[in-house]
Amino acid sequence: MRVFISHSVTDQEFVEGVARHFRDKDHNVSVSTENPIGGSILSEISAGIRSADVLVAVVTTANPNIFYEIGLAAGASVPILVVANPGERLPSDLISVPFIQITGDGLRDMQAIVRRAEDVGAMATTRARNFSSADATLRAANRDPALLESLSPIDFERLVAELFKERGYDVTVAAKTRDGEADLIFTTKNRDTVLVEFKKLSRQSRVSVEAVRALLGIVSNFGASMGLLVSTSGFTASALALAANTPVTLRTLGEVLAARSEDELLANIIDDPVTLEQFNTIVGSVGYYFYRETEGFYMWKLKAKPPGGGDWVLPDLLTRRKPYCRTTHSDTLVYSRNDVADVLMEITGDGPFEVVRRIRAVLDASLQSASQTSSGATQTSRPPDAAGN
Amino acid sequence: VTTIADSTAFKNAERILPQHQAALTLLQGRLSTPGVARLSWLDLACGRGQIIASLDKNLSSQARSKVDYWAFDLDHAFARETRKAAESLGFATFETYVGDLSDFDKILPTGARFDFITLTNTVHEIEPIRLATLLVKCLERLAPTGSLFIYDMEKIKPLELGAVPWSRDNVRQILLRMLDAIGASSYRPEVGLWNHSTCNGWNVQLERQHLNLSGNDVSARMANAISEMRVEIVALLRQRLELCRASLETLTMYGAETAEEQEDKERLLFEFWSLSRALERDT
């Protein structure tokens, strides 16, 4: 745990004792009045506080610097432990902050401060820099939109590059090689080159057909084997359709995280957008059915048959406000595979790859029955060949 | 060819492209080189005189007096405007020519060679199949130490019917093919990508001396370079058209899901027309 101790010079001796107790327990301690070597004191202090897991503020005197440092910690969501003398009147803003009173028994106080700081630090909300790996950070970011938003596109690229390295993949940051307009170059075990492009968008956005088209062009111009387009949100139906059966694979962040091997990561398992009928077959396999409440184009619901029978119910969690579109040439409703996968993950609690396999199975089956029908038709209409078959 | 640069963007400080400044910076460097008493500059597709618009601030009157300025545009009105701007700048000499860009070589006096040729913000206006000839003719028109500076946008906004903008990658492929065919395969000029608040573009400088070829060599290999480049250009156009068609196909089936995709759809429609037209003219 990283501990930052904020105090005034009058408490120097006491604070040195506290710091020693933290270090004895293998914590990393910075102290506010230690002079930094060069640079601005404020920026050193600010960086120290922002990277700390807990701020211990010894407010035995009303030193404005300490209150400033408490403010910095509060702004950076770093948990705070206030250490004060008995009878010390704290500013009203601080009265609900975790607090420990000095008794005057030095050893006992120091041990108590370490113990309380450990508790307070452990309650810290998860923040990006606290994660031990890129995998953990990205998983948290995939769950928590606020955390994802707080990552800059460059942070995001760097994290995914780190994630790939953690998984033992051979990746190069393209900016350094300047050979391609991709963000990363991924070399597979078979020595194939995959150009990786990231799209960090807000949750509500969708990566459009243009991004797929651009990457297809780049992949072909650079003679790369494949392109991998990673989106923090989903893809539009047109983007999915364009990528189907091409060397460009589309992956959401969730899918990237769930991929257990290079093959799973790169295989182009993107199918054409799912039709309403296929959608019902997919959710029907787990006891749900599509239900459209109104004629509205942007509202759809699923209804469920409770286990053991009974009437259809409309569980709240399966009411979505998601766009779907009609194909222009028919009245077929289509959904983006990402939306269908989202729903299925929510219903079943399965990971994206299990869900994708489930969707895939249904789509394959409908494809097969379609081809059987058409090949059957061909056979009946085919004239007998020379051999008379 | 549609009319070139009919906008007044160069009068709006926020929209002035940094690449105009880059052309001027290169010019500054050349004119400051000791021993340079005269410099001939061909401003191909000068438009309304975008590059010389702020020349009074970029070059001293002494430097300007060393310049023989040749301006070329296909629009009479633009050429007149450029002429007017040039009159007050104190060039050693200046000439304006009007004609189709791909015919510039036929229109300019035979034998005229240039120390500096600028081809700015224009490549998208050039019929793709004539691009090869234009670029090779530019090389041929360079003085032994002359240089050619080109930049253009990767995407045109607002959209223009018939315009074919090129990406940095494609430009690099086309130029490398040209250099290989002309016998200068050891010269690999950098093609840069730049971002501006209003657009993205690419730029490149080609130095005549790095070709390491005599004038006769260039003339002898020109026809081959042009035909090889055309093969490359047509292949790129076909590939782009195929991707464009496939994208429009999916948009026809599934529609545009976001406002951004709606914009893409419009750009793709324009691109489809430009590319089909360009390929049609090739056959």
Lookup: tokens for A264: 């799973």
Contacts of A212 in chain B (CB under 8 A): 247
The position carrying tokens 């789509």 is A363
Contact A148, A160 (CB under 8 A): no
Backbone angles phi, psi at A157, to 5 degrees: -60, -45
Give residue-wise pLDDT tens across range B113-133: 999 999 998 899 899 989 999
Is pLDDT of B222 > 90? yes
CB atoms B253 and A218 under 8 Å: no
CB atoms B251 and A239 under 8 Å: no
| pLDDT for the residue B261 | 86
CA distance B167 to chain A (A): 10
Q: Is the peptide bond before B109 cis (omega within 30 degrees of 0)?
A: no
| pLDDT for the residue A36 | 42
CB atoms B247 and A242 under 8 Å: yes
Of B193, B246, B258, the CB nearest to A242: B246
Give residue-wise pLDDT tens across range B170-213: 999 999 999 999 999 999 999 998 877 667 889 999 999 999 99
Contacts of B174 in chain A (CB under 8 A): none
Of B193, B244, B254, the CB nearest to A325: B254
CB atoms A208 and B258 under 8 Å: yes
| pLDDT for the residue A99 | 82
CB atoms B247 and A221 under 8 Å: no
pLDDT tens, N- to C-terminus, chain A (389 residues): 889 999 888 888 899 999 999 999 989 898 876 444 444 566 667 777 877 889 999 988 878 888 988 988 887 778 889 998 887 778 877 877 888 888 888 889 999 999 888 888 776 544 545 678 888 888 888 887 667 766 777 778 888 999 999 999 998 876 544 455 678 888 999 899 999 998 877 666 788 899 999 999 989 888 889 999 998 877 887 888 788 778 898 888 888 887 778 887 887 654 456 777 777 787 777 777 766 544 433 345 566 666 666 776 666 545 544 444 444 344 455 566 666 777 777 777 777 667 777 777 776 676 666 556 544 433 333 333 333 33
Give the separation between CA A334 and CA B183, rounded to whole angstroms: 55
DSSP-assigned letter for residue A350: -
Query: Sign of torsion, CA A207 A211 A216 A220?
Result: negative
Helix, coil or strand: residue B43:
strand
Lookup: tokens for B244: 């464009």
- Report which residue type is found at B198: T
Which residue in A has a C-alpha nearest to residue B243's C-alpha? A213
- Looking at residues B85-98, what average pLDDT do you find? 93
Contacts of B239 in chain A (CB under 8 A): 217, 220
| pLDDT for the residue A254 | 82
* Residues with Cβ within 8 Å of residue B116, at least 6 apart in sequence: B26, B27, B30, B39, B40, B41, B42, B146, B147, B149
Backbone angles phi, psi at B41, to 5 degrees: -125, 125
CB atoms A221 and B256 under 8 Å: no
Of B247, B252, B267, the CB nearest to A328: B252
CA distance B255 to chain A (A): 7
Which residue in B has a C-alpha nearest to residue A235's C-alpha? B257
Contacts of A10-16 spanning 24+ positions with Cβ under 8 A = A10/A60, A10/A61, A11/A58, A11/A60, A11/A61, A14/A58, A14/A106, A14/A109, A14/A110, A15/A58
Contacts of A239 in chain B (CB under 8 A): 250, 261
> HSE (CB half, 13 Å, CA atoms) of B170?
25
Tell me whether 0.85 is exceeded by the ipTM. no
Of A181, A205, A327, the CB nearest to B254: A327
Buried b / exposed e along B218-230 (16+ C-beta atoms within 10 A) = beebbeebbebbb
Lookup: tokens for B4: 């070139």
DSSP class per residue in B94-145: EEEEES-GGGHHHHSPTT--EEEEEEES-GGGS-HHHHHHHHHHHHHTEEEE
Give residue-wise pLDDT tens across range B45-91: 888 888 888 888 889 999 999 999 999 998 888 889 899 989 999 99
CB atoms A210 and B247 under 8 Å: yes
Q: Taking CB atoms and an 8 Å cut-off, how many pairs form between chains A and B? A: 85
Choice between B53 and B272, residue whose per-residue pLDDT is larger:
B272
Instruction: Check if A141 contacts B (Cβ < 8 Å).
Output: no
Contacts of B167 in chain A (CB under 8 A): 217
Buried b / exposed e along B135-162 (16+ C-beta atoms within 10 A) = bbbbbbbbbeebbbbbbbbbebeeebee
